[in-house]
Amino acid sequence: MKFKQVTLFGASGLIGSYLLKHLLKDSEVHLINVISRKPFYLQHDKINNIVIDFTDLNSFSSCIQKSDAVFVSIGTTMAKVNGDKTEYRKIDFDIIYNIADACKKNSIKNLLFVSSLGADSNASSFYLSLKGEIEDSVEILKLEYTSVFRPSVLLGNRNEARFMERIAQFVMYHLASLIPSKYKPIDAEIVAKSMVNISKDPKAGFNIYHYEEMIC
């Protein structure tokens, strides 16, 4: 599958920044629509920055049109929303679902998004149940190709400090040989590279990728 144009949501995040890096290096990708709330910091001949209002449903449809693939790496933390679960849901569920729904309405066949290991709508954890809920809701849309990536602890340097995540990274990195492969920490760049590779040869239907599939 060859690309002329792709769309990327979440380019300023950890995985998203690596996605952008690999898409920029890819000679088969001619245009990258980088969607953001405010002007994007990086300018490049292949980048078309589109600033949108994420509460405006029509804006999702307008910015993904003619895309050969849509990449989504969007998420927040409880700290960023001051512990407000409603605000958290607006980002981790509503935005992702609205992107997927816009893909369905505009006949965009190829959607790839980041979820989390352990995602399960029946989980007792708010975080994992919400991740499971968005997966279930997107699956119902029945896009031609939906690829879901479920990393465990992500390795890499974030722009913002996440103290507990840093501890988890350190512990899991040093215990990696003892951890079943599915639960092993994974470098964010590997996740991003896997997303780009799989986008070019996606499996039909709704498919979930864990550690072993991402490091191939």
Please report, for residues 68, 114, 187, the alpha-carbon distance to residue 64 in angstroms, rounded to integers and kept in the order given.
Answer: 9, 18, 28
Phi/psi for 7 (5° steps) reads: -125, 135
pLDDT in tens, 150-189: 999 899 775 554 555 555 555 555 555 556 567 789 999 9
Residue 72 in domain = yes
pLDDT of residue 60: 97
Residue 136 in domain = yes
pLDDT of residue 165: 53
- Percentage of the chain surpassing pLDDT 70? 88
Residue 63's CATH number: 3.40.50.720
What average pLDDT does range 18-47 have in this prediction?
96
What average pLDDT does range 197-211 have in this prediction?
97
pLDDT of residue 184: 87
Q: Catalytic: 127?
A: yes
Among the listed residues 131, 145, 209, 211, the single catalytic one is 131
Q: Are 4 and 26 in contact (CB under 8 A)?
A: no
Please give the Cα distance from 207 to 201 (Å, whole number).
12
Among the listed residues 127, 183, 193, 200, the single catalytic one is 127
What average pLDDT does range 33-43 have in this prediction?
96
Q: Which domain, by its residues, includes 64?
A: 5-153+187-209
Q: What tokens appear for 100 in the block? A: 């997927």
Q: What tokens appear for 60 in the block? A: 């999702």
How many folded domains does the chain comprise? Answer: 1
Residue 159 in domain = no
Residue 50: pLDDT above 60? Answer: yes
Residue 160 in domain = no
Residue 171 in domain = no
Residue 158 in domain = no
Q: Which residue has the tokens 């994992």?
A: 128
Residue 164 in domain = no
Please give the Cα distance from 3 to 120 (Å, whole number).
32
